[in-house]
Amino acid sequence: MTRLTLRLDFPSGSWLGDVSRRHPDATLRATETVAAAEGEVTALVVAGTDRAATVESLREHDRVRRLDVVDRTGPATRLRVVAPAPPPHAAAVREVGLPIEEPVAVRDGSATVEVVGERSRLTAFSRRLTGEGVTVEIEASDAGEEPVLTDAQRDLVLAAVAAGYYDTPRECTLTELAEARGLAKSTCSETLHRAEGRILRRFVESAWPIDREPSREVENATNPVDTEPTGPAAQES
């Protein structure tokens, strides 16, 4: 399971995004959205300065069908907002089935949310949000997953780094590294190549959650029987 902290920038046309940008000192906390006969009902808490103007902007937004004030005592105003569609984050959560920590606090068009799930669900969540026009940025990641490398790959990569194999210019060639580790040159090259691929994929997936769907042409082109290894593991200086 992976935990991500995401920054969401809501698009123009979203009532959460539009109203919070119009009143940047206000905070709109969406605590829950449920489907009802009259539309998508969101429980919303408005905090900050000039709450009355913020509430009126919500009421006047063309994506809001109805707004009821539930409670205006204390430092915040509690609302019941009815809209034809759920907010983008709520729609994505519902479609993907991904738990999200609530409330989602939107301020000046942006919100920071915590999500936990399998990488495939996180990827689907991000893609669903992007499809709604939301800009998604990963602020932090805590991946509770298996190690990126096998023990053999890790030991070889550490030995290669220590020997200066990845320095520019290189302090150690592939042949020298293989001899020092007691490996055939081809085995050393293949092990490094696989390790480098895993490290690069993990870096890319951590920064930009994406689905990796190689085409048949790519799979055939990278068949080790038909091709020679590429990248750092295939070069010597």
| Range with the poorest average pLDDT among 48-57, 145-154, 161-170, 193-202 | 145-154
Cα 214 to Cα 34: distance, rounded to the nearest angstrom: 38
Res 209: pLDDT: 58
With a cut of 60, say whether residue 232 has pLDDT above it: no
How many other CB atoms sit within 10 Å of the CB of residue 77? 21
The model's pTM = 0.60
Boundaries of every domain in the chain? 2-143, 151-234
Higher-pLDDT residue of 22 and 222 is 22
pLDDT at 212 > cutoff 90:
no
pLDDT tens-digit series, residues 88-128: 999 999 999 988 888 999 999 999 998 888 888 888 999 99
pLDDT digits (tens, 9 = 90+) for 131-174: 989 999 888 777 655 567 888 888 899 999 989 999 999 999 99
